[in-house]
Amino acid sequence: MKTLLVFDFDHTVVDDNSDTWVVKCTPEQDLPDWLKNTYQKGHWTEYMGRVLSYIGDQGIREDAIRTVMETMPYTAGMIDLLKFIGQNKERLDCIIISDSNTVFIDWILHAAGAQCAVDRVFTNPAHFDDRGYLDVQCFHSHSCAQCPVNLCKRKVLEDFLERQLMAGVQYQLTVYIGDGGNDLCPVKSLKTSDVAMPRKGYSLDRLISKLNAGDSRHLESRVVGWSSGLDILNEMNSLMKQSCL
* pLDDT tier, 164 (very low <50, low <70, confident <90, very high otherwise): very high
Residue in 8, 93, 194, 231 annotated catalytic: 8
d(CA 123, CA 105): 9
Rounded to the nearest 10°, the torsion over CA 88, 93, 98, 101 is 80
Whole-number pLDDT of residue 185? 96
Q: Mean per-residue pLDDT for 140-149? A: 84
Residue in 10, 93, 179, 205 annotated catalytic: 10
* Identity of residue 98: S
Rounded to the nearest 10°, the torsion over CA 53, 59, 63, 68 is -70
Q: Mean per-residue pLDDT for 7-17? A: 98
For 112-136, the pLDDT digits (tens) are 999 999 999 999 999 999 999 999 9
Q: Which residue in 200, 195, 208 sits closest to 240, CA to CA? A: 195
Active site annotation includes 183: no
Asked if pLDDT for residue 165 goes beyond 90, the answer is yes
Whole-number pLDDT of residue 205? 97
- Backbone torsions φ then ψ of 215, nearest 5 degrees: -85, -30
Active site annotation includes 10: yes
d(CA 143, CA 158): 14
* pLDDT tier, 102 (very low <50, low <70, confident <90, very high otherwise): very high
Whole-number pLDDT of residue 241? 84
Whole-number pLDDT of residue 147? 87
Q: Tell me the three state secondary structure of residue 30.
A: coil
d(CA 89, CA 70): 25
DSSP assignment letter at 204: H
* pLDDT tier, 217 (very low <50, low <70, confident <90, very high otherwise): low
Cα–Cα–Cα angle for 76, 100, 78, rounded to 5 degrees? 15
Least confident of 105-114, 125-134, 146-155: 146-155
Spacing of C-alpha 33 from chain mean position:
28
For 166-213, the pLDDT digits (tens) are 999 999 999 999 999 999 999 999 999 999 999 999 999 999 998 887
Asked if pLDDT for residue 245 goes beyond 50, the answer is no
Q: How many residues does the chain have?
A: 245
